[in-house]
């Protein structure tokens, strides 16, 4: 059974991390660690940052297995589609997705949330889970709140 997650207490900790005196990348990494450590079904957590050409997403701070997908063209994979459409993508079963870049065979579901600054995409928050169909509207709202908070760092 899925344990109940206290999303609001995690959001407070994220606010504290953002306000801490660490560097931008330390804060982003701290947020990844906090999410992975607080939510058992968040198995890989990372940020992708849109490069200056606006054509590629470049892997930023992350926690979890190493991935070969360190530079993803906009439009490719779940991450690239979320950037192209400028909207959150939730994939409940990655095996049914054709435009998908596999990071690990253990991954079963994924959510990608764009980060906006002045109405433009600047990056994304990407979460992979080893559990199929695990993400709910609560995860989506929670991660969209985090993306808004993180926007001031990018």
Interacting residues toward ligand SME by CB under 6 A: 44, 46, 67, 69, 72, 77-80, 100-101, 103, 110, 126, 128
On the 0-12 / 13-18 / 19+ scale of CB atoms within 10 A, 46 is buried
Of 124, 89, 83, 96, the closest CA to residue 110 belongs to: 89
Output the furthest CA–CA distance in the chain (Å, rounded). Answer: 44
Rg, Å, the chain Cα set: 14
Least distance CB 4 / ligand SME (angstroms): 26
Q: At what angle do helices 7-19 and 137-150 cross, to 10 degrees?
A: 10
Least distance CB 25 / ligand SME (angstroms): 17
Q: Give the nearer residue to ligand SME in terms of CB position, either 3 or 68.
A: 68
Least distance CB 114 / ligand SME (angstroms): 13
Least distance CB 101 / ligand SME (angstroms): 4
Q: Give the nearer residue to ligand SME in terms of CB position, either 110 or 150.
A: 110
Which residue has tokens 């994304």?
124
CA 102-106-112 angle, to 5 degrees, is: 55
Q: Give the nearer residue to ligand SME in terms of CB position, either 6 or 95.
A: 95
Least distance CB 150 / ligand SME (angstroms): 17
Q: Give the nearer residue to ligand SME in terms of CB position, either 60 or 80.
A: 80
Q: Give the nearer residue to ligand SME in terms of CB position, either 52 or 68.
A: 68
Structure tokens at 21: 């005196």
């Amino acid at each position: 059974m899925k344990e109940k997650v206290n999303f609001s207490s995690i959001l407070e900790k994220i606010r504290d991390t953002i306000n801490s005196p660490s560097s931008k990348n330390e804060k982003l990494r701290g947020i990844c660690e906090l999410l992975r450590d607080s939510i058992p079904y968040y198995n890989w957590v990372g940020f992708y940052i849109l490069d200056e050409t606006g054509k590629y997403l470049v892997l930023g701070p992350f926690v979890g297995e190493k991935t070969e997908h360190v530079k993803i063209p906009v439009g490719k994979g779940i991450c690239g589609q979320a950037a192209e459409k400028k909207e959150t993508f939730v994939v409940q079963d990655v095996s049914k997705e054709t435009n998908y870049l596999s990071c690990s065979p253990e991954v079963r579901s994924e959510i990608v949330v764009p980060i906006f600054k002045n109405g433009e995409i600047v990056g994304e928050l990407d979460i992979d889970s080893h559990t199929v169909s695990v993400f709910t509207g609560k995860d989506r709202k929670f991660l969209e709140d985090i993306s808004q908070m993180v926007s001031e760092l990018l």
